[in-house]
A = this chain, B = another copy of it.
Amino acid sequence: MSEESDKENKENKEIKQTKQKKRFNDNSVYIGKRPTMNYVMAAMVILNRGTDCIIKARGRAISHAVDVAEILINKFFPTAKYKDIKISTEVLTNDEGRSSNVSSMEIQIAPK
């Protein structure tokens, strides 16, 4: 039982690491329900590397993403500029097989 859970833990850790790697690679910040400043800081770390940062959000989180981008540029990273803002629709399928359309947004910010 303990071995199994150890294995599970290890697997979870690996999944988490690949997830983090992926996130690291594509310079994206996914906006969810955590405090705004968490996302602002995450975006700053990416911009400080000298690479573009892409803020992504879906549905209700879109307004939150705009807040994050505005706070980042107006208060913490004045040299940063909006490079591209895209909006689109994603089709999500829930557990029952029903699909629903959700708006999504991507804000690309360049460090200078």
Residues on A facing B (Cβ under 8 Å):
59-63, 66-67, 69-70, 74, 82, 85-89, 101, 103, 105, 107
Complex interface: chain B residues within 8 A of A82 (CB)? 87
Complex interface: chain B residues within 8 A of A103 (CB)? 63, 66-67, 70
Which residue on B lies nearest to A88, using beta carbons?
Answer: B70
Complex interface: chain B residues within 8 A of A59 (CB)? 63
Q: B85 contacts A69, CB within 8 Å?
A: no
Q: A89 contacts B70, CB within 8 Å?
A: yes
Which residue on B lies nearest to A74, using beta carbons?
Answer: B89
Sample (15) of A-B pairs whose CB atoms are under 8 Å apart: A61-B63, A62-B62, A62-B66, A63-B63, A63-B103, A66-B87, A66-B103, A69-B87, A70-B87, A70-B89, A70-B101, A74-B89, A82-B87, A85-B85, A85-B87
